[in-house]
């Protein structure tokens, strides 16, 4: 019996703490990263210089473009993304989108179709994609399953637990749906660690 508990604890740690979706490939030394999304990417809830793309740029030493637009719906993101991709020509797109669709109770099918379209556009541009799972506001914060499906079906890495982990901690958020400076710092560090792991 005593041997079972450590094993159960280890399995729980793996399931809760790690994303078992596809891994990122190492980025070129002079890689450009595009952070694309809504207010969570823009940095709502923190001061200038404290958004996760700005912190990530300092952590990894690569250019990170903050293309976050507060309040944007995924339908608008689909229309905006091609022009941004053409201008930036990123090696990696970090896609964190869908929160406003969820808050406005837009249809799940439309949301999933738009997320998949943005992943597709990014891949077609030659960039890798890191998808950030967005949770449904509730007592139990979990990434909505459509992000997990999209990750597996389209073979792109997913940060499934990142936002739920941050938004469960009052000390890491400015309101119920946005991190504060400390939360964005955690956000950036988790992504930086994922990029470092790709090189190992």
Mean pLDDT of 67-90: 98
**Does residue 62 or residue 17 have the better pLDDT?**
62
The alpha carbon of residue 4 and the mean position of all alpha carbons in its chain are separated, in whole angstroms, by 34
- Res 15: pLDDT: 37
Mean pLDDT of 77-84: 98
* % of residues, the chain, pLDDT over 70: 90
Helix H, strand E, coil C: the string for the chain is CCCHHHHHHHHHHHHHHCCCCCCCCCCCCCCEEEEEECHHHHCCCCCCCCCHHHHHHHHHCCEEEEEECCCCCHHHHHHHHHHHHHHHCCCEEEEECCHHHHHCCCCHHHHHHHHHHHHHHHHHCCCEEEEECCECCCCCCCECHHHHHHHHHHCCCEECCHHHHHHCCHHHECCCCCECHHHHHHHHHHHHHHHHHHCC
pLDDT tier at 138, thresholds 50, 70, 90: confident
Question: How many residues does this entry show for the chain?
Answer: 200
Q: Of 81, 67, 78, 156, which is closest to residue 117 (Cα–Cα)? A: 78
- Res 20: pLDDT: 57
Whole-prediction pTM: 0.89
The alpha carbon of residue 157 and the mean position of all alpha carbons in its chain are separated, in whole angstroms, by 10
Does the structure show a pLDDT above 50 at 17? no
- Res 200: pLDDT: 77
Q: How many Cβ atoms from other residues are within 10 Å of residue 129's Cβ?
A: 27
Phi, psi of 66 (to 5 degrees): -90, 105
Q: pLDDT tens digits, residue range 24-75?
A: 999 999 999 999 999 999 999 999 999 999 999 999 999 999 999 999 999 9
Q: Which domains does the chain have, with CATH numbers?
A: 22-198 (3.40.50.1110)
* % of residues, the chain, pLDDT over 90: 84
Does the structure show a pLDDT above 80 at 184? yes
Q: How many Cβ atoms from other residues are within 10 Å of residue 125's Cβ?
A: 19
């Amino acid at each position: 019996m005593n041997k079972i508990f450590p094993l159960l604890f280890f399995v729980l740690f793996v399931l809760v703490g790690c994303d078992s979706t596809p891994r990122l490939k190492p980025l070129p030394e002079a890689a450009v990263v595009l952070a694309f999304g809504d207010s969570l990417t823009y940095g709502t809830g923190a001061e200038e210089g404290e958004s996760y793309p700005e912190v990530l740029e300092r952590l990894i030493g690569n250019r990170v473009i903050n293309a976050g637009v507060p309040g944007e719906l995924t339908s608008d993101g689909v229309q905006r993304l091609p022009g941004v991709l053409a201008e930036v020509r990123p090696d990696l797109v970090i896609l964190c989108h869908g929160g406003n669709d969820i808050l406005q109770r837009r249809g799940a099918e439309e949301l999933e179709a738009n997320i998949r379209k943005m992943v597709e556009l990014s891949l077609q541009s030659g960039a890798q994609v890191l998808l950030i799972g967005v949770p449904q506001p509730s007592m139990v914060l979990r990434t909505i399953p459509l992000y997990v499906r999209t990750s597996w079906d389209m073979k792109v890495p997913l940060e499934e637990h990142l936002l739920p982990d941050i938004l469960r901690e009052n000390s890491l958020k400015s309101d119920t749906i946005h991190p504060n400076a400390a939360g964005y710092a955690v956000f950036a560090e988790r992504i930086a660690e994922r990029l470092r792991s790709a090189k190992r």
